Chains A and B, each alone.
Chain A
Amino acid sequence: MAAVTSSMNTVWDVEPGESRKPGIVHVVMLALFTGIGIVVGTFGSLAVPLGFVSAFWPGQAVQSIGAIWFGWWGGIAAALFPLISNSLSGSAPLPVSIMYLPGNLLQGMVAAWAFRYFKTDPSLKTQKDWWVWIIFGAVLPNLIGAAWGSTTLVAFGLVQQAAQFTTFLGWFIGNTIPTVILGSLVLKFVSPLVVKTKAFCKGLWA
């Protein structure tokens, strides 16, 4: 009797004969996701402003989701859209937003890397998927983002060093909660559609 072997195919596995490379559709998706982020980020910044932080910023959900689905294209969108949404909402002037860039990029790419490394299904089907999402899609990116952002505010003299921890805490909580709620909903219900599109990136670029 032949040995039965099972190999679980994940959405990240490239099918035999499949060729994936970056194309125009990825650039378009980058632009569209940046547009979505601009609207969501501006709304979040204006909704419940607490000085420089927002008590409710769902923009980070868009950052994580975009990078999970579209790899670096989503990561670039994650870095770019706060430049515009912060300017539109007035929550941070341009020089501060430019300094936020590395933090914003990491807020997206941490989730992108984790989902691919742990072969996590973006539709959040199993408990492991949920844990990876919450830890690497919500908690860790926002720890990094809040640390970077609050340090930037101190560097620009907008917040005193002594208040940095409080700022960090407000930033972290205000970003993480909407990410967990909103991001979970979107990943659960929209990922099954996204993984069938040619824009979906199994690798980090295609």
Chain B
Amino acid sequence: MTNGPDELRPARLLIVRGMTIMAAESVPVGVRAPKMRKTLLGYVPIVSPFYDYHPVTRLAMYIFFGVAPVFIDLPEVNVVLLLITIGLLLWGKVDLRRLRIYLPLIATVAMFMFTMVFIFPGQDPSYTPIRIGPATIYYQPVFFTFASYWRLMAMLFGTILYFSTNRERDMLVALRAIRLPFIASYVVGLSIRAAGMFMEDFRTIREAEQARGLDTSAMKLSDQAKLYMMYLIPLFSIALRRADEISNALFARGYTLTGQVEGGGRRSDYILNQYQMTTKDWGWIVIFMALFVAAAVAQYGFGLFRLVNSPLNIYLRSLLGIP
């Protein structure tokens, strides 16, 4: 038996960390296998070395990369963290082209921040004016804005790294593993799932209207805006009906408001059994938490990451003759 171009090779199922992944062999010959899968939170790679780590490890990584830059004023350090994050995205086999949706935001944030500091530099008499043609900018607030921008970018990419390498199931596992109360992790899980259902319903309503001959491209922008707003009415109605159905289903299965098991006892958690912590997970969690605490202590205890210690700031001040 030979495989023709239209025959599918048998699919190989991989079970990695409780995730069933369809391997690339299930696509026809000559067709490029998809590398990314769409989730409710974004696109995640189908295969990634990140999946060898427990979701709690990835959460700890997020806490470090997504939050620690709050403690760091030095733009040099934040740029390094940013580059490390981009490196991790590449190592994790994330398709960076999918991140293009963030480009407008990255650009507008920069424009917003620097425009604001140009128009509203502040009134501090110690600020050093720098004339650039007809315009005057002030060094201290501009450098502060520059540093703040890179801190923001470091945190943003830390968040992008997390959502690009974790499915909603992984988020849920991480929350359950850190012993978040069942009711809280249930709410988070259902919220994320509801967001996906909401988008699906929206798509269905739009397709139904298009099947009835609605041509949105021929409509004025204001009419399109009104149309989108009107979609929310059936969507809210669907949500109400769904709430009834889900709550009846939960009640029928014995779930209570508190999430406690009737009669006491520990709730069995099937999903957690699919993920095992290994030594390297514990190692990395300790490293990330230690780095996080170290960053906080270094900044608030010793002022290590303050702007006055920035080599670039020191260099520019010497160049401009600012004491």
Interface residues of A (CB under 8 A from B): 22-36, 38-40, 46, 49-52, 58, 80-81, 84, 87-91, 93-95, 156-163, 166-167, 181-182, 185-186, 189-190, 193-194, 197-199
Contacts and interface: CB of A to CB of B under 8 A. Distances in A.
A122 B255 CA distance: 31
B323 interface: no
Given A90-B102, A162-B122, A24 B251 contact: yes
Contacts of A49: 104-105, 108-109
A59 to B, nearest CB: 12
Given A35-B193, A35-B198, A95 B155 contact: yes
B105 A90 contact: yes
Most buried by A among B202, B237, B240: B240
Considering residues A26, A46, A80, A93, which has the most beta carbons from chain B within 10 angstroms of its beta carbon? A93
Given A28-B243, A32-B243, A166-B120, A95 B198 contact: no
A124 to B, nearest CB: 14
Contacts of A160: 116-117, 120-122, 141, 144-145
B187 A27 contact: yes
Interface residues of chain A: helix, strand, loop or mixed (majority): helix
A88 B41 contact: yes
A159 B190 contact: no
A36 B198 contact: yes
Instruction: Report the 4 A-B pairs with minimum CB-CB distance, sorted nearest first.
Output: A51-B112, A35-B194, A93-B155, A162-B120
Contact of A31 (B186, B235, B240): B186
B66 interface: yes
Contact of B246 (A28, A190, A193): A28
A23 to B, nearest CB: 6
A194 to B, nearest CB: 6
A205 to B, nearest CB: 11
B104 to A, nearest CB: 6
B237 A190 contact: yes
18 contacts: A27-B183, A29-B243, A31-B191, A32-B246, A34-B191, A36-B235, A39-B199, A46-B105, A88-B41, A93-B156, A158-B148, A160-B121, A160-B122, A163-B116, A163-B119, A166-B119, A185-B232, A185-B233
Nearest to B41: A88
A35 B120 contact: no
Given A25-B247, A35-B190, A90-B105, A157 B236 contact: no
A87 B112 contact: no
Contacts of A182: 229, 232
B66 to A, nearest CB: 5
B287 interface: no
Contacts of B247: 23-25, 27-28, 199
Contacts of B250: 24, 28
B114 to A, nearest CB: 10
B242 interface: yes
A194 B69 CA distance: 44
A161 B229 contact: no
A142 to B, nearest CB: 18
Nearest to A41: B195
A70 B240 CA distance: 12
Given A23-B257, A161-B122, 5 more contacts: A28-B247, A32-B190, A34-B187, A46-B101, A87-B163
Contacts of A28: 190, 243, 246-247, 250
A38 B101 contact: no
A170 B240 CA distance: 33
